[in-house]
Structure 1
C-alpha cells in the first residue's frame, strides 16, 4: 500500500515537532504559591544544572496582610536552614526576617501578604551537585511547616 502525504500534512507535522521543542528545554524558573493556612503548593524544586540563573516567583494566594500571615522564600544549605530561620527573627519584618549579610542565605524574597507576589533570581553556580538545599518561609513560626527541598539536576 502506497501512502501519500500532502504538503499541508507535512507542514503540520513539522510545526508540531518544532512547537514541542521548547517543552524539552530546561525550565529556569518556578512559581510557588503560599496561602493563609501556612502552606506552600510545592515541596521540592529541581534546578537544571544547564541554567545560568534560576528565578523563583512567590505568589501569596491568601487574603491576610503580611503582618499577620506574611510569607517569603529563603534558600540555604539544608544544614544551615534552622540557624538562618532563628537568626532572621530578630531582623524583623522590614528585613524579611533574614539577618542582614547572612552568608548562609543563597537567595530570598521579601515578605509578602495576601494577593502579593515577589521574585528572586540566583546564580546556579552557587549550587553544588550532591549538596542538600532547603527553602522555607522565615516568618516567625512558619519554617517548621513551610519548607521544601531544592536539588541541582542534570
Structure 2
C-alpha cells in the first residue's frame, strides 16, 4: 500500500513539473530569437573583447586559438605556454606580433636564418610590436602591449612553423 501511494505521489509530481500553457491565454506567443528593438538598426553590434589572453602551443605545431579581439588603447596581457614535451631546439615556439602592413610570410622566411637570436631577425625589429622568448616544452612567458584599432598578424617564427602557427588579433574601439 505504501509503495502504491509513493508511486502515485511520484507520478503526480513528475506530471506537475512538465511545461504548462494556458489554453485561454489571449497574449500572442513571442519568438525572442527574431524579436528586434526599434533602435537596433542604429546600434552597433557588441564585440566580445578580452585583453587577457592565454595562448598555448604544443608538439603538434598549432596554436590552440588563432583569432582574438581586444580593446584598442588598453593594455593587453598575453601569457604564452608551450604545453609540449620537446626541447626548444627540436620544437621551440614563440609568439611574434607584427605591425600592420608587415608581410608575415616574408618575416617567417627571414627568421629561419636568425637562430642566434631565437629566430627573431634583428634587421626586422621595426616590424615587431611584441614577442615572447623562444620556449621549450612546459615553459611559458608573459608579454604586455597596447594596440591601436586594426588587425594584426601573429606567428611562431621557429623554422617551418609559420604555415600552421599563425593568426590575427583585431583591436576594436
Fold shared per TM-score above 0.5: yes
Unpaired stretches in structure 1, ≥5 consecutive residues: 1-25
Q: Distance in 1 between matches of 2:111 and 2:132?
A: 13
Q: How does 1:1-154 map to 2 (within 5 A)?
A: 27-51=50-74, 53-76=75-98, 77=100, 79-92=102-115, 94-100=116-122, 102-124=125-147, 127=148, 129=149, 131-154=150-173
Whether the 8 Å CA contact 2:102–2:127 is kept in 1: the answer is no
Per-residue displacement from partner, 1:29-84 (whole Å, max 9, x unpaired)?
20100000001110111111251x21211101110010000000001136421122
Distance between the aligned counterparts of 1:143 and 1:89, measured in 2? 10
C-alpha distance in structure 2 between counterparts of 1:105 and 1:96, whole Å? 14
How far is the alpha carbon of 1:137 from its aligned partner? 0.4
Which structure's CA Rg is the greater one? 2
More helix by share: 1
- Residue of structure 2 in register with 1:9 after alignment: none
Q: What is the TM-score with the length of structure 1 in the denominator? A: 0.73
- Check conservation: 1:78, 1:134, Cα contact below 8 A: no
Deviation at residue 28 of structure 1 after TM alignment? 2.3
Q: Structure 2: any 5+ residue segments left out of the alignment?
A: 1-48
Q: Deviations over 1:83-114 (max 9, x none)?
A: 2212222111x412111252011111111011
Greater RCO structure (CA 8 Å; 6+ sep): 1
Which residue of the partner structure matches residue 11 of structure 1?
none
From the superposition, tell whether residues 116 and 78 of structure 1 become closer, same or farther in structure 2 (CA, over 3 Å): farther
